[in-house]
Structures are given as C-alpha cells and as structure tokens.
Chain A
C-alpha cells in the first residue's frame, strides 16, 4: 500500500505531523472483539464509544476494512453458534417449559441480539460508511440479522424455526378459541420473523406466512363445516359475519399488514365461496324461506357476503331464478288451492276468479322481490336483471298470459277499483304495467285488451275514463306510441260521440221535432265507432226497428250526414241499451234493457199487450239474428228476475214453436230493473274462442311482419337475408317474437308480390323494388 511515510519522503520541508501512524491490527481487533463480548454480556455502559470508534476508524483508514468486517462477521457467527443456539435448543427440548415461556425466551433472545447488533453497528459506523458501502456488502446490522437466521433459526432443517412456528400457530389457535394469550408476545415473535431477511422478502414471508395461512384455512374449514351441520342458514350467516369481523380485529393486533388481504381471501373462499351454495339451499332458514319471509337481515348479509367473492352475484342470481321458476311452475296449483281454501264463489265467476288470484299472486311476488331488491340488495343491477328475466320466463310460460292480464285489468277496473284508494290503485297499475312489459306477445295482449276496453267504454255507467287513460299512457311508456294508437282512437270515438249526441239532442229540442212516445219525450245517445278499430262484430243487419226507434235513427242519420260527409253509417243494435217505463198492474217500473229486447217489446207488444207470438213469428217479423234473438228472449222470459214476457212451455231452451206474450203478473220489489244479457261479464275464452282469437292474431302478424319487412327494405334498399331477419325481429320485438319461419314465409310472399327481389348473383341479398 501507499503509506504515509513513503509519501512524506518527497516533501521539501519536514513533516509537521503524521497523518497515518502505524497500528497493530491484530491487537486492535482483539480489543474490539473483547468489546463485542462485553456488549453481549450487556456491559456496554462500561465501554468507551470513543475508543471503539477510533479503533474501527483507524483500521478502515488503513485499508483493513475487509479484515475488520470478516472478523466481526465471524465473531457474531461464533457467538450465535456457540452460545445462543445451544441455549435455545436446550430450552426447546425441555418439555416441561410452557410454550409461552419459550416464545418469550425466543423473543428476548432476538431482542438482545438486535440490541447488541445496534451497538456494534454504532461503533462500527465508519466501517459501514466506507468499506461496506464500497464492497457492496450488507450493513453490519443486517449481517447480524442474517447470521441469526442462518445459525440460530435455520440450522438442522429449520429446527428452531419450525418449533417456534408450531408454537406460534398453537398460540394463535388459542387466541381464536378466546383463551387469554399475550398478543403482544405473538406480535413480537412475528415481528422477529419479519425482521429476519430472506432471499425474497423476509423469513416470515417464506416460512411463517404459508404455514399460518394453511393453519387458518383448516381452522375456517372446521368452523364452517361444524356450522353447516346445524342446517341453519341464518345461524351460519350470522356466525360467519361475526367470525370474519373478529378474525380481522384479532389479526390486526399481531399480523403484518401484507398478510391480512391473503387471510381475507382465504376466509372468503373457505367460509363463503365453498359453502354459500349449500347455505342457500337449506330448506329451513335458507334462501327460499328468507325470500318468503322477506328476512332483511339474512338477505342483506347474504348480499354482502356474496359480494365479497363475486361482485356479479352469480350464485345468488342462479338461486333466485330457480326459486322464481319453481314459484311459477307451482302457480296454477297454488291458485287452485287458494280458491279451494277461500270462500266459495259462484260457478260462473270461477274462471275470472282463478285469473284474478293467479295474477295477484304474481303481483304480490313481484312486490316481495321489489322490496327485497330495495332493502337488501342495494338495487344491484345484475340481480334486478335476473329477477326481471325470471318473471318474464314465468309469465311467458303461460300461453294465456295476455288474456289473463287483460282480464285481470278488466276485473280490476270494473270491480276492485272502488275499494282502493288512489295511491293503492296507482301502485297496482304500476305492477300491472311491469308485468305487461315482460310479456313477449304484446299483440295478443292488445287483442284481448281492445275487446275488454271496448266493452267497458260502451258501458254508459263506466266511470273509469281517468284510470283507463292513465293505464294507456303507462302502456305507451313501455311499448311505444304505435301500441296504444288503436286504444287511443277508441277513446276518441267515444268522446266525439258524446259531444255529438249532445248536439243532436239540442238540435232536436230547437226544432221541436222530438219524437214522442205516449206523449213522453224520448232521448238518445249514439256511439259512433270506427269500424276498423273496434273489435266488435259490426255487421249490417236487416233488423226491423219499431217506429219510435226508427224515427230517432233516421233523424240521427240525417244529423250525422250533415256533419260528416262521405261516411258510411251502419247501425249496431246488438249493442246499447234502452231505458223505458213499463207498467204492470198498478206499478210502473223503469227498465233498462238491451236494444234488441226493446225492439222485441216495442215492436210486438206496445200496441197490443195481449198479443201472442211464436219464436218463429218473432224471428220472421223482426229479422234479428237467431243467436241474438234466443239470448234476448232468454233474458226477458226465462231469467228469474226479469220475466217481462211469458214463455210457453216454460223451459230453459228456446224452440221455434215456443209462444211468447206479456207477463201480466210481473212483479219486482225494485222500481229500477236491469235486464242482463246472458253472459255479458268478461270471462275466459273457451278453447274454440281462443283458437279463433289466435287465428286472428296470426293473421294480423302476417300483416305486421309484411309491413315491417317493407319498412326496413324501403329504408335500407339492399340487405342480406340474415340482416333482414335480425332487423325484422328487432322491429317487432315490441309486439311479439316472430318465429323465423314466419319471416321467411313473408319474405317469400313479398318476393312473389314483387315488393323486392333477390340479387341475381348473390341469392342471399335482397333489393327493394319501389
């Protein structure tokens, strides 16, 4: 080396002082080694920092860094190997010693070592700063930690380490079973392992954490399996939530932050992911019971727990769907049961009653799920979707859902409405509309709804216009403008008719040409219905009207022709009613009856009340269609409360030879009498009626499909077959789901009619023909 003495030779003047005097390295080290031993003996306060530092400094300055470093290294190593390790092993092998004493001992040993290392690295600071840095070695302090790991913990296949880890895990298990354990000690031991370095991270990361996690996994598995044996979901859920919370709080006291997420993942897997399916399926205290009882705590907890493992809630959704579908499958049976259990109902209302209860069950169920979604599931989008889809599935599985729903609405408006407050009925309407939105074949619904609506609108006593309009605007928001256009037109017809009837009445007043009947004034309301819109059999008839009605009819026709030109005008006496006063004996009754009945009575008996006619005669005379005629005659001669006529022979059948005359003995407790036509109340169609309805629907569907295809082609001009199919399905989705075969068939027909043509080369391509 380049010594100070040699350099000084070149100086011109005498050296003023020695920069680097000679030092006896070995002797210096002996003194330092002795000091290190004193430090281990905890006698540091007798040592002079100044002296130790100076010795280190002098050695380093004289390039003895490596010499010093190696010596310190060996000194620490031999201390650990010869003093510390045997001491610990001796302890470890003593079975008499309590594990906490042992852990405490271990913790103390390391703490002492760390303290000693701190002091050694204090006085060896100059070594750290200069030599260690240049030689890229670990600092003295870190070296001390490595040595502790290599010569105390790891020797003999990690003997000491394994033992301590085992005791540590035992202690943690004891903490878990609520035994009193010095958590500070546990924390110290873990901290000790954390501070020992290892290739990738710390000794803790390599050896302790995996064992801890495995041990924890076993613990969670054990706890959760035991809980499952109870077959009680509520118990499971509440216990699991508490366990997770407690485990988190516990481990926060002694576990490194980096382990916590792993532990949480482990808990989620062991306690939730692998178990929750079983819990959901429990019959007692499982999902079905919680939903049925709307158990908020359980459902909300479930939502939170599953959210930890899957933010799309697949398991929960599958089970909810299953639950709803089985509800749907059992719905017919449960409805029948409810009817059987409930008060008896008149037989003829049975079908309507069935539908009402069926739909109400759906509405109730819907309400249950709405509340659960709101209160327990935080309106989770995915769960909402699943529930909606499941409802759609149940509903559309019922082929007659459109009819059911329309009938329910009809029943609701006619019967139940009066009993409900505005808010209640609004709520029901909303639910009804929600169900409507799930229905795929909206065109079928429209068909039924139109029928029912027509009947309601034509009933002069119906006071439900507001609610009808409200409903229609709700339908509109779900299904669009086109869906409700016909329904709206029906309303318009009724409104215009009312207005015009009023004008007609006023006009008659002014002209003083009021037709009189027995010197009494007569008035008339006419509903003018647009033929194509109203779903009624508005066929032309040759019915012979009695004079009084004939006159009114002619006058109205004149009035109408004067207001509207170029309109054909047919009378539909098969609708409407007539109010008249009839006097039997001394009593006069106010009788409301269908137009046909009035025609029969006015035409045949008003001039001669003793007259007698056979059925055949009546039919010949009045030209009323036979079906209608029979029904009317039944109403006024057979129906018990309204026997205005007498039929001979008295039977429930009408035969051509039957004779009818005024029933002079007619009596009724009420003054006001209403003649009901047989079967005016809405009820379910029979199979024949339904098949005819469906045929009509199918006919309409053809037109609608044609229209859709033409609309699309007109806009796009050229389109491939597949695209056209898709577009068509999309356009019609709001009305019904067209089967591909139908679209294909319509395309063929349109090709034939030359609305469009195939591309000459690509057979799959269509062109629109203007």
Chain B
C-alpha cells in the first residue's frame, strides 16, 4: 500500500468513525496533518462527522487544530456538536504557534518535501537524507565526516529525531518508541527532544491529552527559537566569519578548495570583490534568484544536477573544477549588504539599517527576495530623515522596484513641504516622468504623482469635501466660511501652483 492509499484509508476511517483502523493506520506512520484533495484533514473529517473518539485520538497523536489557520477554523466551525467543539478548543494552540517564523517552515520543507534542488549530502541509516551543515549547526552529536552513516537506532527512531531537529510541526509517536527516543536524543545531545519524550512518557501514563498537546507545542516553539539562535551563531562563525579575502599571493582555486573543505560543509561560494564566502544552497534558495540559478542548467548548477541520487556526494566533488563561484557585482552589493542578505536567508533577520535602505531595496529586488524588499522599504519610510536619501532618489527606486508604499510616502512628503519642493527643477522632472510612465501604461487622464500629492494636500490642509450633514447648518454660510478659511486658501493656492506647473510642462489638465 502506498502512502497515498494509506492516507485515503485513514480519511475514510475518520469519516466512518473507525477508531481502531485510525489507530492502526497512524501507527504505521502517516502524517495526520496532511490534507486530502479537497483540503480536508483527518481531524476535520472526524469532527465534521461527529466521531468524538476519533477526534480525541487524532489530537492525542498530534493532529493540529489551530484557530488562527483556515484549516483550524474550519475544523472548529464544522464540528458536529458542542462536545467535539469544546475538545477542539481545549487543544487550541494558536497562542504558541508563531507564524512569523517562515524560516522554520523552510527548514522543515528541506526534509519533508521534494525540492527541485537537491541539497542533501548525507544519508543516515541508508534511508534518511540530511544536510551535514545543518546537523552541525544544530549541534547534533552525529559525525558528519562521511556520506553514509549508520546509527545504532532503528530508522524510525532516527527519523523522529531528525524531524524534530528540522522543526517539523508534527509529533506523533507510539508509546513503545518513547524510551529509545529518549535514549537516542540523549546520546546525540538533543536535550529539548529528550525532555519532550520524557514528559510525554510521564503524561501519556496519566492520559492527559490536553496537557500533552500544550507541552508539545511549547517545546516545539522553543525548539524553533533555539534552532534560530544556533543558526545565528553558525552564520556568524561559519559563513560570515569564514570569508576569505583574496590576497595577491592566493589563487582562486585554492580558495575554493579551502572553503569547500570547511567543517561547515558549504556547497556554494559567493564572491564579492575579493571576498569569498562559504554558503549553503539549501538556504540560498530562499532568494528567488538563487533558486532559479540552482534549478537551471547553467554553469552554476550543472555539476550538482549530475547527481541523481537522493543525496549528492561531497567526496566526488572537486572544488577546484566543479564549484562555480557565484559573483555578486559590487553594483548589487557591498559586504554589508551581502551580510544583510545572508542573515535574512539563514535565520530571518529582517532588521535593515535605514541608511542602507535603498541599496537593500535594489539588491532584494534584483535577487528576488520579496520579504526583504518590503522590510527595506519600511526601514526607509520609518526613518527617512536619517537615511540621507533624497525624495527623488526614493521616488525613482519606488518606480523601478515597484514598491507602491514608497511612491505614496514620497507624495505625502511633497505635500507636507509643498512650497519647498514645488520650485525645484527635479520636482518638475519627476512630474514629467510620472506622466510618461502613465502614457506607457496607456491610462490617459491623470498623472499618478500629481493625484497622490493632491490627495495628501487635502490631508495637510484638513479639507473635507463632504458637507456636514446637520439640519441646523446653513449651507450657504458654511460654504462661504469654508471658502474663506485659511486652510482652504492655502490649499487652493497649492492647487493653482500645480496647475501652473502642469501648463508649464505642456499638460492641459
């Protein structure tokens, strides 16, 4: 029976409420949080069909019902009766799941999903492919010297441990596996997993499902924080800290060899000017640019693509010949920028110094890292004054990199200091440029920049086009008052200046 067939059987058993069948199937190792072709998880099915015992069992073995996700909400909403709903709510784990950690999802995907780029370089017990560098970064006590390592534990046990280390959100074990798991995690120094298994052993004796589930999520959450700390440490020491500056007496191939043989087992070398950084493809693919590059058949990826095995064999790679250094031109990045990039891809570091905002923006646009792009834009708008960029520079970057947030930010600034900018020749050029952009897009009537400025002017001068809706108000009088208020006079003056400018530029509107 294939995994899919078993999962289908599990879904069916959940529909009809066959607890034994669910138990048997799950003990054979099915992911209980998988979804079927209509996006139903086994837990949704069981609660929808009102099988209390199946729901309890599924929760006990690690089915997730998170109110903050669509699946979880659906599960609670669809529960057949209040009894089931209350049990589900009792398991609500939203408090402990931190959605702001996409990097942990990425790491989990590295072993759980088929990835287009094969980055695994070590096989445990002939069946569990892993990344040497990650094993090392997480300080798992497994030797990473060879491609094939056989451990003294059953593959199922090792698999569980690896899943945990790779931040899998699932955790379901047979009670009989708990003891070897404790032993195994102790031997390899995964204290948190050891603790989890121990507590599980204790709690499952008391059969306190609720407590178990809470505990599990707490430990898993802490583990992802812990992993992040370890990664940070690893990046600082083994990636950023391991760079080699090309001296006059060194040649590139020896640098390549030197870096490739590092304990951190890098499989890609980045070059920036004379600086060479060891890095890992598995993390670099978080940048769309690197993902494309490494999936393609171009020089950078060709050697790795030759491996058809589940892992690639480090010992068969001749770093001098096979490794293509990936250069980043100084046009894109300097060392500070590259470090921002690396910190982001390895552990989601998204703090961008405001004075590198635009540079980061351009870099992440080119390297297709959308989240970093957003973070850079936010850094600029939050603290523009200290960035030293002119509004015109920001405006052009906004246009080029298509960040709308920056466009409106600039328009707002123009409106706030209208008199200061309106006379600058660059302002006129910006208006012209904005108009040209529009013609290119064939929208006829308006100039976006001008529209935005007009809009922000109403804000600046608190102009309200809506008449107050009140029976006591004398509208004529109100209108005259409005017309003569200082703000309106100022506002109208600004509008007039814009008109003048437009005429000057040769636009009629």
Contact = CB atoms under 8 A, between A and B. Distances in A.
Contact of A11 (B296, B362, B390): B390
A119 B302 CA distance: 13
Interface in A1-57: 1-2, 4, 6-11, 13, 16-17, 19-21, 44-50, 52-54, 57
B461 interface: no
Contact of B299 (A10, A46, A126): A46
A2 B296 contact: no
B368 interface: yes
A61 interface: yes
Interface string A385-402: 000000000000000000
A211 interface: no
A50 B430 contact: no
B230 to A, nearest CB: 30
Contact of A45 (B297, B429, B430): B297
B390 A2 contact: no
Contact of B331 (A21, A50, A125): A21
Interface in B122-136: none
B396 interface: yes
A511 interface: no
B377 to A, nearest CB: 15
B397 A1 contact: no
A768 interface: no
A252 interface: no
Given A2-B396, A7-B426, A53 B324 contact: no
A45 B299 contact: yes
A119 B426 contact: no
A10 B426 contact: yes
A125 B300 CA distance: 16
Contacts of A16: 388
Nearest to A44: B297
B327 interface: yes
A122 B289 CA distance: 9
Nearest to B421: A10
B494 interface: no
A293 B332 CA distance: 88
Interface string B390-429: 1011001100101000000000000000000000111001
B298 A49 contact: yes
Contacts of A6: 426, 429
A7 B358 CA distance: 14
Nearest to A10: B426
B390 A10 contact: yes
B206 interface: no
A48 B433 contact: no
B490 to A, nearest CB: 25
Contacts of A20: 400
A134 B440 CA distance: 9
Given A21-B331, A45-B297, A125 B368 contact: yes
Contacts of B31: none
B393 to A, nearest CB: 6
- Of A16, A45, A46, most buried by chain B (CB within 10 Å of CB) is A45
A123 interface: yes
A315 interface: no
Contacts of A126: 366, 368
A57 B299 contact: no
Contact of A49 (B288, B300, B393, B429): B300
B299 A1 contact: no
B297 to A, nearest CB: 5
Contact of B392 (A10, A21, A45, A53): A10
Which interface class (under 10, 10 to 19, 20 to 34, 35 or more) fits A?
35 or more
Nearest to B441: A134
A7 B302 contact: no
Q: Identify whether the interface residues of B are mostly helix, strand, loop, or mixed.
A: helix
B428 to A, nearest CB: 11
Interface residues of B, number: 42
B326 A19 contact: no
Contacts of B388: 13, 16
Contacts of A253: none
A89 interface: no
B297 A50 contact: no
B412 to A, nearest CB: 19
Nearest to B402: A130
- Of B293, B300, B328, most buried by chain A (CB within 10 Å of CB) is B293
A123 B440 CA distance: 25
Contacts of B362: 19
A2 B358 contact: no
A47 B426 contact: no
Contact of A19 (B296, B299, B397, B402): B397
A123 B296 contact: yes
Interface string A102-128: 000000000000010001001101100
A122 B368 CA distance: 13
Nearest to A51: B327
A13 B390 CA distance: 10
A348 B263 CA distance: 119
Contacts of A21: 331
A129 B401 CA distance: 11
A129 B424 CA distance: 34
Interface in A137-196: none
Contacts of A7: 390, 392-393, 396, 426, 429
A451 B346 CA distance: 105
A44 B298 contact: yes
A690 B299 CA distance: 108
B329 interface: yes
Nearest to B430: A2
Nearest to B424: A10
Interface string B340-363: 000000000000000000110010
Contacts of B400: 20, 61
Interface in B376-393: 388, 390, 392-393
A21 B329 CA distance: 12
B292 interface: yes
A17 B359 CA distance: 9
Contacts of B293: 49-50, 53
A49 B299 contact: yes
B366 A45 contact: no
A617 B325 CA distance: 147
A7 B392 CA distance: 6
B366 A57 contact: yes
A57 B331 CA distance: 12
A48 B297 contact: no
B433 A50 contact: no
A506 to B, nearest CB: 71
A50 B390 contact: no
Contact of A50 (B300, B358, B429): B300
A113 to B, nearest CB: 15
A134 B402 CA distance: 11
Interface string B417-454: 00000001110011011001000110000000000000
A20 B392 CA distance: 14
30 contacts: A2-B396, A2-B430, A2-B433, A4-B396, A7-B390, A7-B393, A7-B396, A7-B426, A8-B390, A8-B393, A10-B390, A10-B424, A10-B425, A11-B390, A19-B358, A19-B396, A19-B397, A20-B400, A44-B298, A44-B299, A49-B300, A49-B301, A50-B326, A50-B328, A53-B289, A119-B296, A122-B298, A125-B368, A126-B368, A134-B440
Interface of B: 288-289, 292-293, 295-302, 324, 326-329, 331-332, 358-359, 362, 366, 368, 388, 390, 392-393, 396-397, 400, 402, 424-426, 429-430, 432-433, 436, 440-441
Question: Across chains A and B, which 10 residue pairs bring their CB atoms closest together, nearest first?
Answer: A49-B298, A45-B302, A2-B433, A7-B392, A49-B293, A10-B426, A122-B296, A44-B297, A11-B390, A49-B300
Interface of A: 1-2, 4, 6-11, 13, 16-17, 19-21, 44-50, 52-54, 57, 61, 115, 119, 122-123, 125-126, 129-130, 134
Given A6-B426, A45-B298, 8 more contacts: A1-B436, A7-B390, A8-B390, A46-B299, A47-B299, A48-B324, A122-B295, A129-B368
